[in-house]
């Protein structure tokens, strides 16, 4: 990751529902638990220029795009019939940014007014998301969403580390064990969705540990037996010098 920033795209209903902790906040919590920084449109300051241009600029500046989509299509860009949310998704697709899409499930308990009266546009958008060649996760509660976002980001980080550093990163632990738990839980146990708040933060030093372990294995298997049949490791630079020097007898 270059900037460790994740762009969060959602409509206003995801900020308002459910009461207590919204779906938007749950997504932000999942991003924070993964050790990344969220970029949320609701925190943008007032500025000159078209809002959609600034939104697309921020999308391009981020390393990952996360969409949290309910049953509202969202505000339309002035003069168009395209919402800001869909424009952000299109920008992430054009920029080649990894896209993680989370759809509110039909079975979720939502209050009246949490969906468009005419769901034609949002249903077509949800269908396009499902046909974009992406793995789309569904959620019903904020706890579900937080854990889904966290697992998806950890898996993305793991796959990128594997591509960058090679097979040594296969030692990276599965995300369900990558937690430092509170004192009330045993370290290393799996966190269920309803217990997501128990997780304090993910373990973030595995890449360094794996790198050091790889160096130890590399040194161990490449060391050379010392002369005389022993197994003591001798520095290779010194051995090369000794081989080049003539061996003198007792008389010089």
In the prediction, which pLDDT does 32 show?
94
Tell me what the mean pLDDT of segment 69-86 comes to.
Answer: 95
Burial of 4-40, coded b for 16+ CB within 10 Å and e otherwise, reads: ebbbbbbbebbeebeeeebbbbbbbbbbbbbebebbb
179: three-class secondary structure by DSSP = strand
Whether 23 has a pLDDT exceeding 50, the answer reads yes
* Residues 98 and 2: beta-carbon distance below 8 Å: no
Q: Of 86-95, 132-141, 170-179, which range is least confident?
A: 170-179
In the prediction, which pLDDT does 246 show?
54
Tell me what the mean pLDDT of segment 205-232 comes to.
Answer: 55
The candidate with the shortest Cα–Cα distance to 35, out of 181, 205, 212, 210, is 205
Whether 222 has a pLDDT exceeding 70, the answer reads no
Q: Of 9-13, 108-112, 182-186, which range is least confident?
A: 182-186
The Cβ-side half-sphere exposure at 36, using a 13 Å CA radius, reads: 29
pLDDT in tens, 30-49: 999 999 999 987 765 555 55
pLDDT in tens, 137-196: 999 999 999 999 999 999 998 887 766 655 444 444 444 434 433 333 344 444 444 444
In the prediction, which pLDDT does 83 show?
96
* Residues 77 and 54: beta-carbon distance below 8 Å: no
pLDDT in tens, 188-210: 444 444 444 344 344 444 555 55
Q: Which CATH class is domain 5-204?
A: alpha beta
Omega prior to 101 cis, within 30 of 0: no
């Amino acid at each position: 990751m270059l900037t460790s920033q994740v762009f969060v795209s959602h409509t206003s209903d995801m900020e308002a529902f459910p009461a207590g902790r919204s779906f938007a906040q749950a997504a932000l919590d999942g991003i924070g638990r993964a050790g990344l920084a969220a970029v949320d449109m609701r925190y943008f300051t007032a500025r000159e220029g078209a809002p959609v241009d600034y939104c697309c600029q921020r999308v391009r500046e981020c390393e990952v795009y996360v969409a949290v989509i309910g049953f509202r299509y969202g505000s339309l860009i002035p003069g168009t019939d395209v919402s800001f949310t869909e424009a952000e998704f299109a920008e992430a697709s054009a920029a080649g940014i990894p896209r993680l899409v989370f759809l509110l499930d039909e079975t979720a308990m939502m209050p009246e007014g949490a969906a468009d009266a005419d769901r034609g546009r949002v249903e077509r958008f949800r269908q396009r998301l499902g046909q974009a060649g992406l793995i789309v996760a569904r959620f019903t509660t904020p706890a579900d969403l937080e854990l889904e976002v966290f697992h998806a980001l950890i898996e993305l980080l793991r796959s990128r580390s594997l591509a960058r550093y090679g097979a040594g990163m296969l030692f990276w632990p599965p995300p369900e064990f990558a937690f430092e738990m509170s004192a009330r839980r045993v370290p290393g146990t799996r966190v269920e969705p309803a217990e997501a708040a128990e997780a304090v933060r993910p373990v973030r030093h595995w890449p360094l540990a794996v790198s050091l372990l790889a160096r130890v294995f590399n040194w161990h298997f490449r060391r050379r037996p010392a002369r005389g049949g022993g197994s003591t490791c001798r520095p290779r630079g010194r051995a090369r010098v000794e081989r080049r020097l003539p061996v003198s007898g007792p008389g010089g």
